Chains A and B, each alone.
Chain A
Amino acid sequence: MAALVNRRTVISGFILLALVFPFLTKNSYVLHILTLAFIWMIAVYGLNLLAGYTGYLSLAHAGFFAIGAYSLGILTVKVGMNYWLAFLSSLIITCILGLLIGLIALRTKEHFFAIYTLCVGYIIYLVIDKWDGLTGGVRGLIGIPVPAGVGPLSFEEPQSQYYLILFFLLLTVLMVYRIVHSLSGRTFIAIRNSEELAKTLGIATMKNKLMVFVLSTLFAGLAGVLYASFIRFIGPDIGYITITFDLLMYLLVGGIGTLAGPIVGTILIVWVSQSLQFLQDFRMLIFGPLLTLLIIFYPRGIIGAFYEWKIKRQEKKRMRALIKKHKDAEFSDANSVPDKKVKEG
């Protein structure tokens, strides 16, 4: 119970910090970077549901991120659709494409799935890059509008955009939390553990995998949509493989298959890479070895390592209590049958 209260306070503390953060800093650059980090987190949560909880490592996530962003860009700039209608349509488009791709991709497994989705991601990038008429090709799309005001709220200012994106991030975390802690979440974890076993337990694995796949593209698409109206310019680069691997790195460092992993990993990597900005591309010399070491020693990332430590500590406590109990029992035994203790000793 104490742990629960503790966790609640920690979570509310973080939310409070996120809420007051724009008042703590006058540096608009920091706010910009943090807002971007929030957007990445949403996409990483999508990746986490699929790769972390269901065991299917998709490398097409930058592609779906780009599909979301471009859908919004095209619908607002070229079609001139109402912002929130375009917002919703973009998410639906991403989900439909996710469904179609998932239907084929999920026929493969493990590394074949990873390679297949890597190719899908690259094809999405190529389509965006080459389809000049629709996407503007390498020139990209400019002049994407900021989110339209809702009632008295307007999202012209960076601060208000920050709050809007924070809202969507919290919504994402809440959704993922509820899904993971439900029968549906248990079903996904069962598929990750052993698909064969899951099937014999009566789980329709394909249906469930498809559901997670679409859900995970939905979060990637949501991140893309928010990105497009936050940066207001998009180029084909946002669908490139490097973005996928950035997302994957955030997830791995934070902790794949953990709830807090995406937040911790993203904040940490974004912060470190900002502070190492002065090293330019040489910072990869620091990143590379650190990442390798982390994966070797803590395959479930920082959060995974933390949980492991906690479990070990509890285990030790339990063992100590057990030994103590045993000793007490032995002591009372010794009182009644004095020579038995000698024998056992």
Chain B
Amino acid sequence: MFLETKALTKQFGGLIAVNDVSFSLEKGKINAIIGPNGAGKSTFFNLVSGSHSPTSGQVIFKDQNITKLPPNKIAELGIARTFQTTNLFEQSTVLDNVIVGHRLRTNSTLLDAVLRTKRFKREESKCKEKAIEVLDFVGLTAVSDQLASNITQEEKKRVAFALALATDPEVVFLDEPAAGINPDETEGLAELMKKMVDRGITVCLIEHKMQMIMKLADKIMVLNYGEKIAEGTPEEIMNNQMVIEAYLGGSASA
């Protein structure tokens, strides 16, 4: 198993945000999590990436139990994520913003910085090369020397992708990557996700844009009120009665 959750549950006081969710990611594919607002999708992400610790259940990554690890350790293992909004340092260039993404693969300390040691120089250029590489990958080479405050919303989304990719991940969790951008740009981001999968990176995303998901995803999980109500290929999901009810409302009881 590549990455799986076992009976993952998160309770906030009286509210059960994620309830007994067992799910496994398909390695090297595009996995998607969908569900109405408040279904627990983002909480599920937070549990997997270590931002929240679950009330019960486990997260297993390559046979290792990572349930209790802090987010930075999880990132080191090769699990990256993006947020719905990415806070970039607006007064600095796009390239400068992305360089720090590779920091976790370096060891230089304050002392290296003050003394400008060999390791410092080697790692500085390594991080810079990595940043240039991932910016090229996401198609932002042209704006890499512009200030982060001057780029478009779509470009900011791509910078978020670049930051996640700079950590050298095996799997990337994308939290609503296409929120707030137009259909053409959505198409472009979908292409980018395919490109990531071609590179051998597993993708898992939360998305509201159904058309995009149905075309893009290899495997879909549907959450509703914190529970998994369906799982399968896009065709299976589209024909699932429970899913249709959750999205369009049930017959009389709704």
Interface residues of A (CB under 8 A from B): 175, 178-179, 182-187, 189-190, 192-194, 196-205, 211, 215, 307, 311, 315
- A186→B75 contact, CB < 8 A: no
- Which one of B13-21, B57-65, B100-108 contacts A? B100-108
B87 neighbours in A (Cβ, 8 Å): 193-194, 197
Say which residue of B70, B110, B147, B150 sits within 8 Å of A184 (CB atoms).
B110
- A201→B75 contact, CB < 8 A: yes
- Within 48-85 of B, Cβ neighbours of A (below 8 Å) are at 49, 51, 70-72, 75-76, 80-81, 83
Contact of B109 with A by CB under 8 A: yes
- Select from chain B the residue with minimum beta-carbon distance to A211: B110
A204 neighbours in B (Cβ, 8 Å): 72
B150 neighbours in A (Cβ, 8 Å): 315
**B139-152 interface code vs A (CB 8 A; 1 in, 0 out):** 00000000100100
A205 neighbours in B (Cβ, 8 Å): 72
B76 neighbours in A (Cβ, 8 Å): 202
CA distance A205 to B104 in the complex (A): 11
- B116→A202 contact, CB < 8 A: no
- Within 184-233 of B, Cβ neighbours of A (below 8 Å) are at none
Contact of B26 with A by CB under 8 A: no
CA distance A200 to B113 in the complex (A): 23
B103 neighbours in A (Cβ, 8 Å): 183, 186-187, 190, 201-203
A196 neighbours in B (Cβ, 8 Å): 51, 83
> Lowest 5 CB-CB distances: which A-B pairs, in order?
A202-B104, A202-B75, A182-B113, A194-B87, A199-B71
- A183→B123 contact, CB < 8 A: yes
CA distance A201 to B221 in the complex (A): 26
Nearest-Cβ distance from residue B99 to partner chain A, whole angstroms = 6
Contact of B242 with A by CB under 8 A: no
Interface residues of B (CB under 8 A from A): 49, 51, 70-72, 75-76, 80-81, 83, 86-89, 91-92, 96, 99-101, 103-104, 106, 108-110, 112-114, 116, 120, 123-124, 127, 147, 150, 163, 166-167
Nearest-Cβ distance from residue B11 to partner chain A, whole angstroms = 21
- Select from chain A the residue with minimum beta-carbon distance to B116: A178
B104 neighbours in A (Cβ, 8 Å): 201-203
Nearest-Cβ distance from residue A326 to partner chain B, whole angstroms = 16
Say which residue of B88, B99, B113, B167 sits within 8 Å of A179 (CB atoms).
B113
**Given A196-B51, A202-B167, 6 new contacts (CB under 8 A):** A183-B100, A183-B123, A194-B86, A197-B86, A201-B72, A203-B104
B80 neighbours in A (Cβ, 8 Å): 200-201
CA distance A308 to B96 in the complex (A): 17
- A185→B113 contact, CB < 8 A: yes
Nearest-Cβ distance from residue B166 to partner chain A, whole angstroms = 8
CA distance A194 to B163 in the complex (A): 13
Nearest-Cβ distance from residue B146 to partner chain A, whole angstroms = 9
A311 neighbours in B (Cβ, 8 Å): 91, 147
